[in-house]
Amino acid sequence: MSKPSILVARAIFPEVLAQLREVFDVDYNEADDIFTPAELSRRLQGKVGALTTGSERIDAALLQANPQLKVVANMAVGFNNFDVPAMTAAGVQATNTPDVLTETTADFGFALLMATARRVTESEHYLRAGQWTKWRYDMFAGAEVHGATLGIIGMGRIGQGIARRGSHGFGMNVVYHNRSRLSPELEAECKARYVSKQELLQTADHVVLVVPYSAESHHTIGAPELALMKPTATLVNIARGGIVDDAALAKALAAHQIAAAGLDVFEGEPAVHPDLLKVPNVVLTPHIASATVKTRMAMAQLAADNLVAYLTQGKALTPVNT
Ligand code: DGY
């Protein structure tokens, strides 16, 4: 009997690919090119499943052109590249990779917060450029992290992980804003206090964004929100590009309206707003918050396991639409 055909739309770990090849006839994008929507649609012809990352858009037009498609497994916890209602309407199972990246991503959120507050990359560039000729009392003096007020916007699993690091590890005063309040037990465990978005922006020394991207969360932070923040505050975005208005942020950083920012995600990435590249008080990383070998492997494995589970047993392990 012939094996079901799937598309692996981006490069993945060889071990995981080998497992998929045991069960499926795999069309593999070994070159790791990012497909245009037309190429993606063409490569999906005849395929019942696909393993994607955030760079492949699954929308109504693509689903209409591929009525044989049954399941798309995203190797990411975020799934803003999926039109979920269109997938549900077309009877296509969508899956993501929750939980396996929570702590790793929270670690990185904290790394970016610390690098931003303590001006780690800015000072390293200065040293590498041979500009360090003497010690000075105010050289790269940054913002305190321990004991400071940490404001978290988006209090899902990753937000809670950042809250625990801040309150338990660094003695921070943690406030958060979220669509819904956490249970009193979880608030106590995270040592986090619910506040309005306005209060958070006005009082936090460090603001971390961990909110999923949607039409509602588009530009959660733009010029009006930046204007509410303290001039000494920092902003970290490990959520998604589009949560922050990058042009407005570049302006605020250039004008020292806020002290600094740390960004792992960008509007229109991998392109980065050119004005962000011009300001020194921003730490820029290429969407690597979940990038440890162990976690990326766990994400690939879970995406592959979702394809196998759905196509052989009719039930996904971590479904997005049930
Ligand atoms: C995720 O899992 O959503 C990360 O941002 C990687 O894409």
Which residue's C-alpha comes closest to atom 1 of ligand 1?
Answer: 76
**Which pTM value belongs to this model?**
0.96
For the chain, list the domains and their CATH numbers: 5-100+293-313 (3.40.50.720), 102-284 (3.40.50.720)
For the chain, give percent helix, strand, coil, nearest 5. Answer: 40, 15, 45
Annotated catalytic residue, options 118, 177, 240, 273: 240
Contacts of 27 (CB under 8 A, 6+ apart): 5, 6, 7, 8, 43, 47
Mutate to test the pocket of ligand 1, among 101, 107, 108, 237 (most ligand atoms within 8 A of CB): 101
Q: Which atom of ligand 1 is nearest to the CA of 105?
A: 4
- CB of residue 290 inside a 6 A radius of ligand 1: yes
DSSP for 16-40, written as a single string:
HHHHHHHHSEEEE-TT-PPPPHHHH
The verdict on whether 269 is a catalytic residue reads: yes
**Any atom of ligand 1 within 6 Å of the Cβ of 54:** yes
Residue located nearest, by CA, to atom 3 of ligand 1? 78
CA angle at residue 150 from 250 to 214, to 5 degrees? 60
Residuewise pLDDT in 10s, the chain (322 residues)? 799 999 999 999 999 999 999 999 999 999 999 999 999 999 999 999 999 999 999 999 999 999 999 999 999 999 999 999 999 999 999 999 999 999 999 999 999 999 999 999 999 999 999 999 999 999 999 999 999 999 999 999 999 999 999 999 999 999 999 999 999 999 999 999 999 999 999 999 999 999 999 999 999 999 999 999 999 999 999 999 999 999 999 999 999 999 999 999 999 999 999 999 999 999 999 999 999 999 999 999 999 999 999 999 999 999 999 8
User: What are the CB-based long-range contacts (under 8 Å, 24+) for 12-17?
Assistant: 12/51, 12/75, 12/300, 12/304, 13/296, 13/297, 13/300, 15/297, 16/297, 16/300, 16/301, 16/304
The H-assigned helical ranges of the chain are 14-23, 37-43, 60-65, 84-89, 102-117, 120-128, 157-164, 170, 184-190, 197-203, 223-228, 246-254, 274-278, 293-313
Residue nearest to atom 6 of ligand 1 (CA): 76
Amino acid in position 202? Q
What is the spatial distance between Cα 139 and Cα 248, in angstroms, rounded to a whole number? Answer: 27
